[in-house]
């Protein structure tokens, strides 16, 4: 069973894990995304639905926040849009100016990003994104901890796409609550959140997940029996 199959089977995921790889050039024969999406995270949805494709910098201009976290250099017009979007967020009290420097961002030059379902990814992707409910992400987080690649930063919030550079820079798993823009563009459930994991650690985490899944199943029996005994 592949890592993607094991993740879906043990966790009961509704969506395919998504593999993202940043490259200097597009792989031969891989199609370029047919149309630029409203945001970089909209490509996650397409990959989860089975598509494999690549994007270039211009395909990320529609979302200046996502372009920023991905390390995309924006043209003047889009740069002004970023300033306008941030200004609106400041006005609404959604974000503070002093928070901007702390938002994780890719520092490498953006050339091409390859998106694919994990089951179809070639080699180790830079990041694997898993969408799940609280219990599913709990199990995945425990497996990452057991594999020695659990994050220590706690739950991340807006913007969702900042989880990608955070996981890449720390080399550890990152849980993210998401943000309202991401929830609109990806149509993820209100009860779902993300776990971003460096691709090179997926196999080790999946191996630990088998143990963690079994341990939780047995511990659940224990706690239910104990609860019943105390109540009775």
Q: What is the dihedral of CA 108, 194, 13, 123, to 10 degrees?
A: 10
Q: What per-residue confidence (pLDDT) applies to 153?
A: 66
**Domain limits for position 135:** 3-231
Which of 171, 179, 186 has the alpha carbon at shortest distance from 155? 179
For the chain, what is the domain count? Answer: 1
Per residue in 92-145, pLDDT tens? 777 677 777 788 899 999 999 999 999 999 888 999 999 999 999 999 999 999
As to burial, measured by CB atoms within 10 angstroms (0-12 exposed, 13-18 middle, 19+ buried), residue 36 is: middle
- Put simply, whether the predicted model's pTM sits higher than 0.85 gets the answer yes
Q: Are 63 and 36 in contact (CB under 8 A)?
A: no
Q: Which carries the bigger pLDDT value, residue 85 or residue 23? A: 23
Answer whether residue 204 shows pLDDT above 90. Answer: yes
pLDDT at 65: 84
Q: What are the residues facing 129 on neighbouring strands?
A: 18, 196
> Where is pLDDT greater, at 226 or 21?
21
Mean per-residue pLDDT, 11-39:
93
Q: What is the pLDDT of residue 32?
A: 97
Comparing 157 with 148, the larger pLDDT belongs to 148
Check whether 82 has a pLDDT greater than 80: no
Res 219: pLDDT: 84
Q: In what order do the strands lie in the sheet with 127-133?
A: 53-56, 112-117, 18-23, 127-133, 192-198, 174-176
């Amino acid at each position: 069973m592949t890592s993607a199959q094991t993740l879906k089977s043990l966790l009961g995921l509704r969506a395919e894990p998504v593999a993202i790889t940043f490259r200097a050039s597009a792989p031969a024969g891989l199609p370029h995304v047919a149309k630029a999406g409203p945001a970089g995270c909209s490509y996650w949805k397409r990959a989860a639905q089975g598509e494999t494709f690549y994007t270039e910098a211009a395909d990320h201009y529609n979302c200046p926040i996502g372009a920023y976290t991905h390390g995309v250099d924006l043209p003047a017009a889009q740069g002004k849009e970023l300033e306008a979007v941030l200004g609106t967020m400041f006005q609404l009290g959604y974000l503070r100016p002093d928070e901007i420097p702390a938002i994780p961002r890719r520092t490498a030059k953006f050339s091409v990003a390859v998106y694919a379902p994990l089951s179809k990814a070639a080699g180790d992707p830079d990041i694997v994104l898993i969408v799940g409910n609280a219990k599913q992400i709990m199990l995945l987080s425990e497996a990452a901890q057991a594999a020695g690649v659990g994050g220590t930063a706690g739950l991340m919030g807006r913007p969702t796409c900042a989880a990608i550079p955070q996981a890449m820079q720390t080399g550890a798993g990152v849980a993210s609550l998401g943000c309202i823009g991401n929830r609109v563009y990806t149509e993820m459930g209100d009860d779902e959140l993300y776990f971003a994991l460096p691709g090179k650690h997926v196999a080790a985490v999946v191996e630990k997940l088998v143990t963690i899944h079994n341990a939780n199943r047995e511990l659940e029996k224990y706690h239910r029996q104990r609860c019943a005994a105390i109540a009775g």
